[in-house]
Amino acid sequence: MKKVLLLGCLCLVAVSSCNPPGTLSKRDTTTPEDSIYKVARGYFKVLPVVAVSEENPLTQAKVHLGKILYYDTRLSKNGNSSCNSCHNLATFGVDNEVTSDGDDGSKGTRNSPTVFNAALHNMQFWDGRAKDVEEQAGMPILNSVEMGIPHEGFLIERLTGIKLYQELFKDAFPGEEQPLTYANLQKAIGAFERTLLTPSRFDQYMQGDRKALNSVEKAGLLAFVEAGCTTCHNGVGIGGGTMQRFGLVTDYRSLTRSRLNDEGRKAVTQYAADKDVFKVPGLRNIKGTFPYFHDGSVAGLDSAVIIMGKAELNKELSKQEVRQIVAFLNSLTGEIDPEAKKIPAELAKH
């Protein structure tokens, strides 16, 4: 009955938006299916082909260089880690670990988020300390717990001694007297990551294919909206646009059983108001990017949905609502370009 009423209300909203206030057209042919589609188009956007950047225009040479750098373990001090180690393109851009191993085998303190579709987000890292994928790309390399390179000059000197990179940087950044720089390394990796977008059945639905989602997934879309999830999870990334407090209603630690007392963005700004504020993750490919939350404390997607209902919305979602929302979230699983998952042939030769 609740769902029937919701569909009826959505129909009325759709009708009233097309007619003068206080009038309903007898010839209106809006259907529940039309209303669901209108709701989706109101909150979300279709995935583009690439994530463009005015500051870092994409070229084939730059993207090619970026892919090689992404897979090269020589970007870590001891040669044990690459970008792909934590953000594995064969497994939806993550390693499915609670936290990842660094170059020296030590564990990080935060779960590695997916790199797929991340270039569409408004900030990077759980604490939002990087503005885009270009800035983000250079930071783990210099992190002592992650890839362990002691300073930029150390890596540039290493890469300068490799003929392959001398040629590739020259091709990717033509006309520059010294193209092999750390800034250009960041641009190249960022350019590659801007191609890592994964169109899904949900995008087909958003483009007009009403049969791309089944009835349970459509019910989940409505339940997702009705619960209030779209307050944070909206737009093209279905998240990734804002920073929000995790635990608006109750301390998240009581629900996730988190072992680490991570206070989020407060560690960056030192402002008390930023305690427990984290980047809202994008939900594309969420089915495959477990475990969940900034500390990887929750393994199951259904459990994560229940916790978010309690922590952020002060709602006890029913079993049916959880099942439907999870079905909708599963429809966000996208197609990964097989070429992206192939280790570059150049790395086997050098």
Please provide residue 244's backbone torsions phi and psi, each rounded to the nearest 5 degrees: -140, 155
The answer to whether the Cα torsion of 275, 279, 281, 282 is positive or negative is positive
**CB proximity list for 240: less than 8 A, separation 6 or greater:** 117, 118, 120, 121, 122, 123, 279, 280, 281, 282
Please provide residue 310's backbone torsions phi and psi, each rounded to the nearest 5 degrees: -75, -45
Q: Are residues 98 and 111 in contact, defined by beta-carbon separation less than 8 angstroms?
A: yes
Tokens of 254: 């009581």
Tokens of 286: 């969420």
Q: Are residues 128 and 268 in contact, defined by beta-carbon separation less than 8 angstroms?
A: yes
By CB neighbour count within 10 A (0-12 exposed, 13-18 middle, 19+ buried), where does 323 fall?
Answer: middle
Q: Which residues are paired to 200 by β-bridges?
A: 334
The answer to whether the Cα torsion of 173, 175, 180, 181 is positive or negative is negative
Q: Are residues 64 and 58 in contact, defined by beta-carbon separation less than 8 angstroms?
A: no
User: At which residue do the structure tokens 């790199």 appear?
Assistant: 115
CA distance 236 to 197: 11
- Residue 146 known to be catalytic: yes
Cα pseudo-dihedral 56, 60, 63, 67, rounded to 10: -170
Please provide residue 181's backbone torsions phi and psi, each rounded to the nearest 5 degrees: -125, 165
On the CB side of 255, CA atoms within 13 Å amount to: 21
The active-site residue out of 146, 193, 312, 321 is 146
| Residues annotated catalytic, as ranges | 146
